[in-house]
Structure 1
């Protein structure tokens, strides 16, 4: 598929009602994402097309790019540049989850990104740290992470705060020796304590999240 073909296919998915709903969440696109995924399946992996789509700067094109790219083919410098361009929430979410978390460069970038002055970049570093806590915690100083979370999470910007909170919860869930400390930090900071949670869903408030996940494990 050529770039022009892909852009025409994206334009055909435009729905004004969907755009209005998405814009309330800060996303500047009007597509049903299930239909966009169906389009991506017809294209399959096409990394060069993904690069072209990303270069347009358009949210719809970038979302399709993230579905058809080959994450391992992006260099560390490309990932850093692209991450700093992921301001729309859905672009950021998909970039972190579909590209960064699958990249061989993720661990090398993780710590550097955690301390970046750009909120979008720092949040990605913390999101990768939460994954590391779950999948490969050996070598992580979990006590030091808890120190940093306790010191900085309450005043962090929303995107970074969310990722730090996920790291806090995963430490509490996965590491019983640190569970009481993680719960205590959550209770003192009260970050996301009032977050609206639909019936049947788990609250992102770390003490409740930890308790529910531990209950399910038992």
Structure 2
């Protein structure tokens, strides 16, 4: 949609705002009331536009930033630009989408992973752990998995919530994907008991790492057996 302005887009987002959706989102730390399916449909209609995406991001509005993530061109951002944006992305959904849909597609992803991993800001560090978990799953060569387990063992128990979640995800994926580290990953999870009592619906997998690992390994075994 050539020539679409930020004002026009924000007006359309305002019409999508639903108080009940906002109430649910705010319970999870997010700050918008727009249905994500409708947001994705709007992004598809707008099409990619780096200039519009950057302008939407600068508004600081949660829904506008999610739309910016869906309409930007990730490879056009500089390393410094991505670092600044990550530090501005304080709500869970914006940060999650930004890391997974923008940073991972950037040529600067690995450099930022290393920089963010040890950042003193726990929200920034959680992004570094999310990128590390992605490498554990997709490209583990060169990672010190034993060293990652050392850090998790020493720091996860007392980490702030979002950083703790990110470290726990990494712990689970190491146990799931790398059989040689599975026993240690399970042992760490059992001793630290992080998310052990997290309320989980009957049809969902618990985020407690030992249970998560066991279930995913079971599923993999069933798939390998043709079950």
How would you bin the TM-score normalised by the shorter chain? over 0.9
Runs ≥4 residues deviating over 4 A: none
SS of equivalent to 1:84? helix
Give the match for residue 210 of structure 2.
Answer: 207
Structure 1 residue corresponding to 2:84, chosen from 75, 81, 84? 81
Give the match for residue 177 of structure 1.
Answer: 180
2:173 and 2:26 mapped to 1: Cα distance? Answer: 31
Give the match for residue 23 of structure 1.
Answer: 26
* 1:47-86 alignment, distance < 5 Å: 47-86=50-89
Shift of 1:4: 1.6
State the Cα RMSD in Å. 0.9
Give the match for residue 104 of structure 2.
Answer: 101
SS of equivalent to 2:205? coil
Shift of 1:46: 0.9
* 1:91-170 alignment, distance < 5 Å: 91-170=94-173
1:98 and 1:216 mapped to 2: Cα distance? Answer: 27
1:23 and 1:138 mapped to 2: Cα distance? Answer: 39
1:129 and 1:20 mapped to 2: Cα distance? Answer: 32
Shift of 1:94: 1.1
Q: 1:10 aligned to 2:9?
A: no
5+ residue gaps in structure 2? 222-227
Shift of 1:21: 2.1
1:18 and 1:128 mapped to 2: Cα distance? Answer: 29
Q: 1:198 aligned to 2:201?
A: yes
SS of equivalent to 2:60? coil
More moved, 168-177 vs 15-24: 15-24
1:113 and 1:205 mapped to 2: Cα distance? Answer: 25
* Number of aligned residues: 218
Shift of 1:36: 0.8
5+ residue gaps in structure 1? none
Shift of 1:14: 1.1
1:97 and 1:64 mapped to 2: Cα distance? Answer: 14
TM-score normalised per structure 2: 0.93
Shift of 1:17: 2.0
Shift of 1:195: 1.0
1:213 and 1:65 mapped to 2: Cα distance? Answer: 34
